[in-house]
Amino acid sequence: MTIRIITDSTSEIKLDTVKKLNIDIIPLKIIIDQKTYFDNIDISTNDFYLRLNSSNTPITTSQANPHDFLELFQRYADNGDIVIGIFLSSKLSGTLQSANIAKNIVENNENIHIIDSLCVTSALGLLVRCAVKMRDENIEIEKIIKQLNEIKTRIKLVAYVDTLKYLKMGGRISSSAAFVGETLNISPILALNEGSLSVIKKIRGKNKVFNYIKDYTIENNIDFSYPIAFASSDNLKDLTTLLNDFSISDNNLTIDELGPAICCHSGLKAFGIAFISKKA
C-alpha cells in the first residue's frame, strides 16, 4: 500500500515543493470582486499581494467543499492506497468537516485518515513535513497517526501583524480595537491557542517585536531537532532580521510566503515563526 498525504493550501507549501514532497494540495478559494480564484492556482502570491494593495472592497475566502476532496479520496481508495489528510484547524474553517463528509461518501474508506491539525499556515506545513518524513522512513501507518496527533499538541506559531485592517474586515477583532490599535501604533502579536489564533500581546513600536518573538520561542522550549518555519507576507527585510536571531541549519529551515488564503486576513508586512516545542 502507498501512503498518500493530502493537505490544503493554507499550509503554505507551494507547487514546486508539493512535487518534491510527493503530496497533494486541496486549494481554498479566494473571492475578489465577486470572482472566485483557487488559492495559488488561478492567482499567484505575488499577484495577490498587488490586488490586496489596490482593492477597495474586502477580499474573502471560502473553505474547500466535499466535492473538492471526493475525486481524490475515491481514486486513492480504489487503488488500495492509504490516505492521511492533514487540514487546517476545525476552529478556523469548515474545510476539515468537508473532508470528513467526502470520506463518508467514499466506498472502502477504511484507509482514509483525517487529522485536525489544530494549526494553520506554516504551522500546518510543519506537521505535513513531519508526516512526509515518517512516510519516507516507512513507519507503519498506526504509528504515524499516533505521532502526528502527539506532535500537533506541541506546535507553536507566533506572528506579528503590521495592520489591524484585515483582521477587522475578517471579523477577527472589533472595529473599536482596530481603531485604537491603528491610532496608537499598536500592533498585535498573534499565536496559536488550542486551534485558534488569538492576540497574546500588544506591542507599541516594531523594535520590541523581534525580542518578544525570540523570548516566546525560548519560553516555549523550541526543539531544534524538528523543522522550523519562518514566514512573511511581502516582508523579506523583517523576516531576515528575525531569522538572524536564530542559528538553524538549512536542513531544518523552511521559509514561506504567506499565500492568498492567509494573507487576506493578515495583510502585508506580517512575519512570524512556527516551531515544535520539546516534550514536557
Q: What is the pLDDT of residue 131?
A: 98
Contact partners, residue 109, CB within 8 Å, separation at least 6: 73, 77, 103
Question: Is the model more confident about 143 or about 187?
Answer: 143
Q: Give the pLDDT band of residue 62 (cuts 50, 70, 90).
A: very high
* Between 81 and 44, residue with greater pLDDT: 81
What is the DSSP-derived secondary structure letter of residue 169? H
- Stretch among 104-118, 130-144, 240-254 having the lowest mean pLDDT: 240-254
146 shares a domain with 53:
yes
Q: What is the extent of the structural domain holding 122?
A: 3-152
The lowest-confidence range among 116-130, 176-190, 266-280 is 176-190
Residue 107 has a CB neighbour count (10 Å cut-off) of 8
* pLDDT over 80 at 75, yes or no: yes
Q: What is the pTM of this model?
A: 0.93
**In which band, very low, low, confident or very high, does the pLDDT at 173 lie, cut at 50, 70 and 90?**
low
In the prediction, which pLDDT does 176 show?
47
223-to-144, 155, 276, 278 alpha-carbon distances in Å: 19, 10, 6, 5
Q: Which position has the higher pLDDT, 42 or 5?
A: 5
Average the pLDDT over 81-103 and give the result.
Answer: 97
What would the grid cell of residue 241 be?
Answer: 532580521
185 and 207 together in one domain: yes
Task: With CA atoms as reference, report the closest residue to 132 among 147, 121, 118.
Answer: 147
Instruction: Say how many domains are in the chain.
Output: 2
Residue 86: band (very low, low, confident or very high) from pLDDT cuts 50, 70, 90: very high
Same-domain pairing of 25 and 163: no
Residue 167: per-residue pLDDT: 65
Question: Could you tell me if 55 and 192 lie in one domain?
Answer: no
Looking at 152, 186, 217, the residue that finishes a domain is: 152
Comparing 86 with 57, the larger pLDDT belongs to 86
Give me the torsion for CA of 119, 121, 122, 125, rounded to 10°.
Answer: 70
Residue 170: the pLDDT is: 55
Cα separation, 54 vs 162, in Å, equals: 17
Inform me whether the pLDDT recorded for 71 exceeds 50.
yes
For residue 192, the domain's CATH number is 3.30.1180.10
Q: Domain boundary at 152, 170, 203, which?
A: 152
Label residue 182 by pLDDT band (50, 70, 90).
Answer: low
pLDDT at 241: 93
User: Do 178 and 227 reside in the same domain of the chain?
Assistant: yes
Q: Above 90 in pLDDT, residue 85?
A: yes
Whether residues 245 and 218 share a domain: the answer is yes
What confidence score (pLDDT) does residue 168 get? 62
Cell numbers of 279, please?
Answer: 516534550
Say if CB 33 and CB 57 are below 8 A apart. yes
* Strand boundaries in the chain, DSSP class E: 3-8, 24-26, 29-32, 35-38, 60-62, 82-87, 112-116, 155-160, 186-193, 196-204, 228-232, 253-257, 271-276
For residue 148, pLDDT over 50 is answered with yes
How far apart are the C-alpha atoms of 165 and 143, rounded to whole Å? 43
Domain end among 152, 177, 202:
152
198 and 134 housed in the same domain: no
Within 10 Å of residue 143's Cβ, how many Cβ atoms? 10
Q: What is the pLDDT of residue 220?
A: 96
With cut-offs at 50, 70 and 90, classify the pLDDT of residue 67: very high
Over the chain, what is the mean pLDDT?
90
Mean pLDDT of the region 132-139: 97
Residues 77 and 23 in one domain: yes
